[in-house]
Homo-oligomer: A and B are copies of this chain.
């Protein structure tokens, strides 16, 4: 059963890390068909396996989605870290982080959607994404300290500022693709300029204007 596919080296079990294969299949489907095309059966089909097989690796469909979301937050963190590392000036760094956030959401809209659906419905996952030592949130927090948005002893106010930035970035990420902005984008000579313009009105991202 199921051609052994000889050139993939030794496989621990019947399939060989089906969990990994399922996650890859799922992200492939998300990027290809969008969130609407993501069904457990479709994922199993894409991975070349029976519809019930995933239940040995994920308790639920929601647990599959949660795993996808975790991977997504990991990639987002990586992308933001790379962007932040490339920008030395603190002011510009905050702006770059905001821009990177929106760019990620634009590049993988369906995955981004799953990420925030999970954040809403579950309690476990977002903590992992937000509080992780290396998470994107702590990168933002450090950058916000660097621009002096709040003195280090005003922990509460700093937290509020970071949350505000996160909310603004999230809102922009979800709305940047809306059709009614197309005219304005064209008038401004491209989405990049549009994005920078909007960010420039969002306090902490003000410096983005110079990156247009």
Contacts and interface: CB of A to CB of B under 8 A. Distances in A.
Contacts of A157: 197
* Residue among A123, A170, A194 having the largest count of chain B Cβ atoms under 10 Å: A170
Interface in A158-193: 159-161, 163-172, 174-175, 177-181, 184, 187-188
Interface stretch (A8-16, A25-33, A81-89, A198-206): A198-206
A127 interface: yes
Number of copies: 2
B201 A204 contact: yes
Q: How large is the interface on A (under 10, 10 to 19, 20 to 34, 35 or more residues)?
A: 35 or more
A161 B201 contact: yes
Interface of A: 116, 119-120, 123, 126-127, 130-131, 149, 156-157, 159-161, 163-172, 174-175, 177-181, 184, 187-188, 194, 197-204
17 contacts: A116-B174, A119-B178, A120-B177, A123-B179, A131-B180, A149-B201, A156-B188, A157-B197, A160-B194, A160-B198, A163-B175, A164-B172, A164-B201, A168-B168, A171-B172, A174-B174, A202-B202
